[in-house]
Structure 1
């Protein structure tokens, strides 16, 4: 690996053209880059509607939004806005489009290279060849052994005289600044409360409805108010209603459903005041951990070693084991269901977005309650 420790860019572009959670996990990279280049201008390019995780980020000067499927006119405007305006681009996703944006925008690039989860093949190597050619330094994805935050931070390796320094100090995820909650919510909030976010982006990350019913009932009997969270997506709103329909009237009266009514910064404010957060593998779970809220997350097919919520302040490259029914690091507890196939990194048992995941179906609510008790004892 060539060393570029004397390189001092004046303008840097970070590119993350994926989901909300993918934007949040770039923030440790941005913070470490700021330590290296305190006087550089940092800009960020991502998809419209996916960049609220950066609200108020002290290191970002300008946020550039683009559609996930831009037309010709938008491409032309973006080209004119970006063309060779930057000294360096960080391409934090392996997509061809992200690399093309980096090629257009900057004189030099570093980037993440993708590949098949079970290993590289000839097709992948050919697809990655041009990306390697245009980059000063690249980092390979490892979906099982390398944490995604480590993956991003390693993009800085060639800019350090001693790359091990990257992981020798506490590593933090920077959440967005908070926004005030509406009076309609604050007037109903009661301390202590637990935030539950049951809706993932895809069905194979769902936990069964009756398990949520059991857990919510248990929490309320312990004296907590339960606050349900969800995105404005129709499937998430319906999921929350399905859960509520299973509760008795007495229990349901003590549940506050905020589904679809919170911005990401407002969700951060809600999480900062919570006694506990419980959710599945989704972006709000990463936000909860970033807000230093005690977090319990339910993992199925996804390897926690790759995308487990980062325990804020952790020192090192890997907080988690690949497989453990329960593991706690800092304020984050990860629970996994049974089975030698866990985690498989497939899209559920049928390997498609609408599949179930048996490992989550068999993750009993009693296991989650046990984790809650341990957190309360601490």
Structure 2
């Protein structure tokens, strides 16, 4: 709370210094902060496009989680990528470092898609004259007090897609659009590397994400193995296991459990994030929970079998591609929201994930392949 106290104490002076910088329009320098992980970054890409379409001569800087640095640097609408981690702005000195970094950028507009105290303080002390953010539908007292330091807030309403809320946020800098299409870009050598990996396969490729950053959403190895066995029994196709190098052990566990060892390709750890879109776009169907690669598949318009599990799909879900969503209505669903996530099941059952059967998933795969 000391940061809030200091901000309120010196707010008249900070406001004056910010205004002395002026509010150039069309804006010359715009900062967007999206420090969440892969899926959240991909679900923000429509903002970068629409900002540059409206202000093509502006310099767009995006602060990102280091995890997404690769795909952020490939985005043609972003002029500068600044990786930031939460460790970098911890404590009082961390807040000062963040504010100094922002102040040196001399931005005309600052937009944070992560409505929290550090970025509020960073943009305020960084002397950005126009400061925008989303007002979460779930919000604690600290941020409610800090939210007074933004020049404009866009309330996020329950039941509305967060990507739509982001677009409404842009209305405050005269950007009018309803285009929520997401975009991902790949590195130059990506197609070549993927072609070498796939060889001469000319059968449907069905991708399965082996893990999730949030373990509450993750499908168990045994269930993944059951899905693979049933797909390979009923469909003349190849399975592609998808994940990062950290998912290699789980992929090996899945492979040890499957009965049918042929027609399975393990891509975990084979491709970096800049190369992965080249593999995803080759898939005939992607099977995934609410995870970053699901939104990559959505951006690339790959058909998706989607297992939302605990999340509120009225707020966030794939919207671009043909999709079959599989879930069982439970009294405890949803329990995880865009601005109020949870990483554990209070009933210790994960029924929202575990009750989805391999038969349901395989039937959905067949329907998407038929169409």
TM-score by length of 1: 0.80
Choose the corresponding residue for 1:215, options 223, 227, 232: 227
What is the aligned partner in structure 1 of residue 180 from structure 2? 171
**Gap regions ≥5 residues in structure 2:** 1-23, 337-341
Of 108, 112, 120, the residue aligned with 1:99 is 120
Pick the aligned partner of 1:340 from 331, 345, 353.
331
**8 Å contact kept, 1:286–1:309:** yes
Query: Which among 321, 345, 350 is matched to residue 357 of structure 1?
Result: 350
Change in CA separation of 1:349 and 1:208 when aligned onto 2, cut-off 3 Å: same
Residues 282 and 158 of structure 1: CA distance in aligned 2, closer, same or farther (over 3 Å) = same
Matched, 1:140 2:155: yes
Residue 127 (str. 1) matches residue 160 (str. 2): no
2: CA distance, partners of 1:107 / 1:147: 28
Using the alignment, how far apart are the partners of 2:361 and 2:323 within structure 1?
A: 13
In 1, Cα distance between equivalents of 2:198 and 2:253: 24
Query: Which residue in 2 is equivalent to 1:112?
Result: 134
Distance 2:324 2:58 in 1: 37
Q: Would you say the 8 A contact 1:42–1:59 is kept in 2? A: yes
Pair 1:268 & 2:277 matched: yes
Deviation at 1:134, TM superposition (A): 2.2
CA distance in 1, matches of 2:358, 2:220: 10
8 Å CA contact 2:204–2:237 kept in 1: the answer is: yes
Counterpart of 2:18 in structure 1 is: none
List aligned pairs for 1:51-66, cutoff 5 A: 51-66=69-84
Higher normalized helix content (fraction of residues): 2
Asked whether the 8 Å contact 2:111–2:133 carries over to 1, the reply is: yes
1:242 and 2:264 aligned: no
* Distance of 1:187 and 1:105 partners within structure 2: 54
Larger radius of gyration: 2
CA contact (8 A) 2:37 2:67 kept: no
Change (3 A) 1:7 1:305: farther
Give the 3-state SS of the residue equivalent to 1:12 in structure 2.
Answer: strand
1:204 to 209, 212, 216: 216
Per-residue CA distance 1:253-293 (angstroms, 9 max, x = gap)? 31111112221121100011111111111101100110111
Measured in 2, the distance between the counterparts of 1:156 and 1:231 equals 34
Segment drifting more, 99-108 vs 182-191: 182-191
Matched residue of 1:370: which SS? helix
Task: Name the residue aligned to 1:18.
Answer: 36
Contact 2:194 2:278 in 1 (8 A): no
Q: What is the deviation of 1:174?
A: 1.1
Cα distance between partner residues in 2 of 1:155 and 1:166: 11
Other-structure match for 1:30: 48
Quote the offset at 1:64 in angstroms: 0.9
Residue 3 of structure 1 corresponds to none
Give the superposition deviation at 1:106.
Answer: 2.0
The Cα shift of 1:76 comes to: 6.2
Equivalent residues, number: 335
8 Å CA contact 2:74, 2:274 repeated in 1:
no
**RMSD (Å) for aligned C-alpha atoms:** 2.5
State which drifts further: 24-33 or 284-293. 24-33
Q: Distance in 1 between the 2:242 and 2:364 partners?
A: 20
CA-CA distance at 1:69 after TM superposition: 0.2
8 Å CA contact retained: 1:53, 1:265: yes
How far off is 1:98 after superposition? 2.0
- What TM-score do the two structures reach when normalised by structure 2? 0.82
Q: 1:268 to 1:220 in 2, by over 3 A?
A: same
How far did residue 51 of structure 1 move?
2.5
CA distance in 2, matches of 1:238, 1:188: 27
Q: CA deviation at 1:344?
A: 2.4
